Amino acid sequence: MDAQRAQYLHDLGITVWERRGLFIATDPAGLSGDDNTSLPSDARATAIAQMDWPELETTVKSCTACRLRTGCTQTVFGVGNRHAEWLVIGEAPGAEEDRQGEPFVGRAGQLLNSMLAAIGLKREQVYITNIVKCRPPSNRDPALDEAAACRPFLDRQIALIQPKLILAVGRVAAQSLLGTDVPVGRLRGRVHQLQGIPVVVTYHPAYLLRSPQEKRKAWADLQFAVHTLKEHTA
């Protein structure tokens, strides 16, 4: 195993054993604008569902369908491979994401990159986005109505990407995607379904930075996601 991947595994708190050429990683760690903002929700969702990538991104940038847009610097649409097999969905942009206009940057983003690299994926190979595209004030959780207002955008991203697997990172993302209030601990280790796509739930990188002892569980989740994808595409 090369030194770079060993470092990625180390970042996840994974103990790596090498023996006779074999490595074993142990289980560690509104539509907006004057014409469309007032559209009924069904009509708005239908209109968004017909958009291509450029129109969708432009519409997100000008969206005023919820209160979040007035308090953020810019929208954070998503980044990565628009034909990716893996779609990673978090909860909302934070301060650094709001500043840079890209999801999962800063320390949490670096850990996410290491998590992906540990299973052989580069950041640019996956697509990364959030439940909502604007930063909530003081990094609070998105409200239910805010997530609902942004959901047609996410649904359209999913439809355009057609991922083979969705990795939901964190409680807010998992519960919002799956329409449940079940805790993350009980959502982990199971294959959920969203629009016929398998969904695997794991902890948010920011949580793992605060609770490094949970990295073992996150590693198990990643391995489970890899196994799920293989089964789904077999």
Question: For the domain that residue 186 is a member of, what is the CATH number?
Answer: 3.40.470.10
Q: Tell me, what's the pLDDT at 194?
A: 97
Structural domain boundaries enclosing 75: 3-233
Amino acid of residue 82: R
Q: Tell me, what's the pLDDT at 158?
A: 98
Mode of pairing for the β-strands spanning 22-25 and 79-80: unpaired
Number of domains forming the structure of the chain: 1
Q: According to the 3-state scheme, what is the secondary structure of 32-78?
A: CCCCCCCCCHHHHHHHHCCCCHHHHHHHHHHCCCCHHHHHCCCCCCC
Distant-in-sequence, close-in-space partners of 141: CB < 8 Å, separation ≥ 6:
91, 92, 172
Query: At 232, phi and psi to the nearest 5?
Result: -70, -35
pTM of the model: 0.86
pLDDT tens sequence for the chain (234 residues): 566 666 666 666 665 554 444 333 444 334 444 344 446 689 999 999 999 999 999 999 999 999 999 999 999 999 999 999 999 999 999 999 999 999 999 899 999 999 999 999 999 999 999 999 999 999 999 999 999 999 999 999 999 999 999 999 999 999 999 999 999 999 999 999 999 999 999 999 999 999 999 999 999 999 999 999 999 998
Q: Tell me, what's the pLDDT at 234?
A: 83
Work out the number of other CB atoms within 10 angstroms of the CB of residue 171.
20
Mode of pairing for the β-strands spanning 79-80 and 127-130: antiparallel
**DSSP summary character for residue 28:** -
Distant-in-sequence, close-in-space partners of 18: CB < 8 Å, separation ≥ 6:
1, 24
Q: Tell me, what's the pLDDT at 95?
A: 95
The SS3 of residue 133 is: coil
Mode of pairing for the β-strands spanning 22-25 and 86-90: unpaired
Q: How far is 49 from 156, CA to CA, in rounded Å?
A: 5
CA angle 109, 113, 114 (to 5 degrees): 120
Report the DSSP beta bridge partners of residue 199: 166, 192
Q: How far is 194 from 187, CA to CA, in rounded Å?
A: 14
The SS3 of residue 170 is: coil
Distant-in-sequence, close-in-space partners of 88: CB < 8 Å, separation ≥ 6:
104, 112, 116, 126, 127, 128, 129, 166, 167, 169
Token couple for 203: 């902890």
